[in-house]
Amino acid sequence: MSPCARARQRAFTLVEVVLTILVVGVGLVASMRALPVILNVSQAARDSLVAQRLATDLLAEMSMLPFEDPDGDLKFGVEPDEAPSCRGDFDDIDDYDGWTGSPPQKKDGRTEPDCDRYTRKVLVQSVEYEDFNKICGDDKNKPKRITITVSKPGAPDVVLISIRLRGANREDLQ
């Protein structure tokens, strides 16, 4: 076989090159169209994780506080000597009832990084022992249902619900 015939057998034809470019081009266009969808899903997952972290951080902060006011004040909610906007003054869990914070801050007032569009809201309610969904007014001796809602415009709300019983931490037993 001559060298020219061997070279012709190993080389691509123009038709093969054009078909390869066409297949690769269609694949790239399809990939580029899927990219915005993938980015939106990724952003939604990030938003949800940030909201969950903000909710659990606030619940952890609340769980460190006593069930009722250490001064013996029977008022449900913020006491007169506590500023409703300053969580640093809160000394029991029902002080958080009705509290809202945006942008989210740590208890010492420092702003949470990269969370400026999020809002946290807290609802604390006394509930019955037999049914944690049955609200029973502001009875400080009943279990307390804590509902933390974290929201961000354009994203679904994250809601965290917890029940706190008397004696759940050491200070409650003293």
Task: Tell whether 110 is covered by a domain.
Answer: yes
Q: How many domains does the chain have?
A: 1
Q: Is 102 exposed, middle or buried (0-12, 13-18, 19+ CB in 10 A)?
A: middle
| Each residue's pLDDT tens digit, 115-161 | 889 999 999 998 988 888 888 876 777 899 999 999 999 999 999 99
pTM (2 d.p.): 0.74
Amino acid at 156: P
The number of beta carbons lying within 10 Å of the beta carbon of residue 115 is 19
Task: Tell whether 55 is covered by a domain.
Answer: yes
Task: Tell whether 22 is covered by a domain.
Answer: no
Task: Tell whether 105 is covered by a domain.
Answer: yes
| Each residue's pLDDT tens digit, 71-99 | 777 677 788 777 777 788 888 888 899 99
Q: b/e per residue, 11-40, with b = 16+ CB within 10 A? A: eeeeeeeeeeeeeeeeeeeeeeeeeeeeee
Rounded-to-integer distance, Cα 39 and Cα 46, Å: 10
Task: Tell whether 52 is covered by a domain.
Answer: yes
Mean pLDDT rounded to a whole number for the chain: 83
Q: Which residue range forms the structural domain that includes residue 79?
A: 31-173
9 pLDDT band, cuts 50/70/90, is: low
How high is the pLDDT of residue 172?
A: 55
Task: Tell whether 11 is covered by a domain.
Answer: no
